Chain A
Amino acid sequence: MHKAEIIQKVAGLWPEIVMLIGATACLFIGLSKGKGPRRSTPWIAAATLVLAALLVCGKSSVSDGAGALAGLAGYVKLAVAGIGLILLMVAAGVPDQLRQTRDAEAAKDFDPGDLLTGEFYAFFLLSLTGVMLTAGAGDLVWLFLALELTSLPTYVMVATSRDRVQAQESAVKYFFLGALSAAIFLYGFTLIYGATGSTEFAEITRIAQEQIAAHDGHVPGLLLIGIALSIVGICFKIAAVPMHFYAADVYEGAATPVTAFLAFVPKTAGAVALILILSLVGWPLPGAIESLLWIIAALTMTVGNVLGLLQTSVKRVLAYSSIAHSGYIVVGLLAGPAVNQAAGGALGDGLAAVLFYLVAYGLGTIASFAVLGCLRVNGDEAQTFDDISGLHKRHPFLAALMLVSVLSLVGLPPLVGFLGKVYLIGSAYGAGFTYLVIILVLNSAISAAYYLRIASACYFGEPNDAVESTGQFPRYAGALVAAALALILGVVGNGLVNASRNATTPVQAADTNQPVQQTAATSID
């Protein structure tokens, strides 16, 4: 890489640099003795996120030299900064709720869990930085480091989020499976490097095309195994089937606001990383990869939704719903960028659908977890269906937000989840995955059963007197903003649809250079 290229690359990284500075500031200020400076850490984090979002907006018109996927990076960075702000509102009270922090001033015996205030926000920002870097990745080394930067802080966040043994249990499960998955996708990356002799995406794509051409359209075995291993490893990040079983336990054990974070941030990083990895071989995908993703998608949707039906804890239901949504996202990945322009407009582009769906799913799921986080039962978090029973009579506002968010997750119009599903189904159908579309629709019907169970518990259950609200204004605001955005973007979602479409347009431009797809497009014309 030449000097000018490096300067250009770093110039595109200002949002991440700002995030890193903000995280460091939180880390140091969080260590200060007085309570005042430590209280300022959430505000520093908020200011950092706003500044990063502004920088992304300012830079979005300028190509940062990331090549074909420059649009993707801008879209994901902005989405992450925006939704990160909502997540920050939701998570703002987490460190203060802990017993350890409450009497930390007078702490007599040292416990590692005691020293948490500002660090929480530092880890929060670092993890978001990881997602942003993932979106801008142009190299396997970079992608690996960015994915690890996304995950490592979340382990700490889970372990220290709650003054319960369960939080630590979920942290240990999350950490060990995370390390295992990192080793697996790293092995995948190694084989990709071994097959092509380069770690730069552009170079890998070029060499892979040459090799495919030399082998009569067959992808060489080493490359194929490398990509398959990478997919399986990254499935941990999106909680898809071979690596999904941790999700329910981890989501249940972590504090609810941290669960909301886990349900969106690593998943976004994983989905973006999958887009980048799959674009190395390009769409239409090689047969083996296509079958692998097909099976992952079908199993993830079904397992998530069927197990979601059987749960008694709302948190676990939402955890399984997040697994199911990963399955929907993989359907979009399979469909790939618009090859078949005849499918028309925004409906044909699987990658744009994935990007749109990530935001749609994120808003719905964050709002529902935030509502749960606003409730407290006997000093502990609200978790079960009993806890939200009759919520409408006690807290009509929270019940309404919960209703909006679960309906958005079901995919009912006029909410944003509906647009997201239409978009995904349209692209998958356009790409010819009819059976998968049928499975997706059937699964949406199954999921409606447990989502509506949540809604009916809120509205028709007997009120539970033990339940009280935590009275944390920022968390209410976070829930409100997420639910309101789910409604607003559902009604006037054109902007987001176009943004997600523009984000993947350069990908298509690159792909139409491939002779196979060109002939496919012309034959349809």
Chain B
Amino acid sequence: MPLNAIDSLALSHFLLTGAVLFCLGLIGFISRRNLIIMFLCTEMMFQGVAVSLVAFSRFHLNDTGQTFVIFVLTIAAAEAALALGLVVLLFRRKKTLDALAWSDLKG
């Protein structure tokens, strides 16, 4: 099936979705205090980027963007593994996931 490039109007819809996801993630990251929720917010930012990449890929009619998305998902998975390991380590230490409990270093 031959693929047609999407026009700029359709592209802008996808980009808007991606940007909204990215911004929601950013706002959540700044405003929430639970470490797991904060991590999920960064994941949401990554997914916003992924939506934009796929849309651009279709707009330019090349596969590079979609290839990029696969790598982005891989990195996101690696970060998730690391984040969950870190969260378990932290929870064993302080029995809380509140980010404010981790603010001893100051100066």
Contact A141:B93 (CB < 8 A) given known A176-B38, A179-B79, A187-B45: no
CB distance from A112 to the nearest CB of B (A): 5
Cβ–Cβ < 8 Å partners of A159 in chain B: 86, 89
Q: Is the CB of B64 within 8 A of A199?
A: yes
Please give me the residue from chain A that is nearest to B61 by CB atom.
A197
CB distance from A141 to the nearest CB of B (A): 5
Cβ–Cβ < 8 Å partners of A248 in chain B: 105, 107
Cβ–Cβ < 8 Å partners of B65 in chain A: 190, 193
Cβ–Cβ < 8 Å partners of B67 in chain A: 141
Cβ–Cβ < 8 Å partners of B72 in chain A: 144, 186
Residue A311 lies at the interface, judged by CB distance under 8 Å to chain B: yes
The answer, among A166, A176, A313, for a CB contact under 8 Å with B39, is A176
Q: Is the CB of B29 within 8 A of A175?
A: no
The contact string, 1 if C-beta is below 8 Å from chain A, for chain B 54-91, is: 00100110101101100110010011001101101110
Interface residues on A, range: 35 or more
Residue B104 lies at the interface, judged by CB distance under 8 Å to chain A: yes
Cβ–Cβ < 8 Å partners of A141 in chain B: 64, 67-68, 71
Q: Is the CB of B68 within 8 A of A193?
A: yes
A414 CA to B101 CA in the complex, in Å?
Answer: 47
Contact A152:B82 (CB < 8 A) given known A198-B64, A248-B107: yes
Cβ–Cβ < 8 Å partners of B45 in chain A: 180, 183-184, 187
Cβ–Cβ < 8 Å partners of A171 in chain B: 86
Could you tell me which residues of chain A, from 448 to 507, have a CB within 8 Å of some CB in chain B?
none
A145 CA to B68 CA in the complex, in Å?
Answer: 10
Could you tell me which residues of chain B, from 25 to 71, have a CB within 8 Å of some CB in chain A?
25-26, 29, 35, 38-39, 42, 45-46, 48-49, 52-53, 56, 59-60, 62, 64-65, 67-68, 71
Cβ–Cβ < 8 Å partners of B75 in chain A: 144-145, 148, 182
A249 CA to B105 CA in the complex, in Å?
Answer: 6
A311 CA to B105 CA in the complex, in Å?
Answer: 13
A248 CA to B68 CA in the complex, in Å?
Answer: 34
Contact A199:B68 (CB < 8 A) given known A144-B75, A168-B93: yes
Q: Is the CB of A194 within 8 A of B56?
A: yes
Cβ–Cβ < 8 Å partners of B93 in chain A: 165, 168
CB distance from A181 to the nearest CB of B (A): 10
A198 CA to B56 CA in the complex, in Å?
Answer: 10
Cβ–Cβ < 8 Å partners of A166 in chain B: 104-105
Enumerate chain A interface residues (CB-CB to B < 8 A): 111-113, 140-141, 144-145, 148, 152, 155-156, 159, 165-166, 168-173, 175-176, 179-180, 182-184, 186-187, 189-191, 193-194, 197-199, 248-249, 252-253, 311-313, 316
9 tightest CB-CB pairs across the interface, nearest first? A197-B60, A183-B45, A194-B56, A249-B105, A179-B42, A169-B102, A190-B52, A148-B75, A186-B49
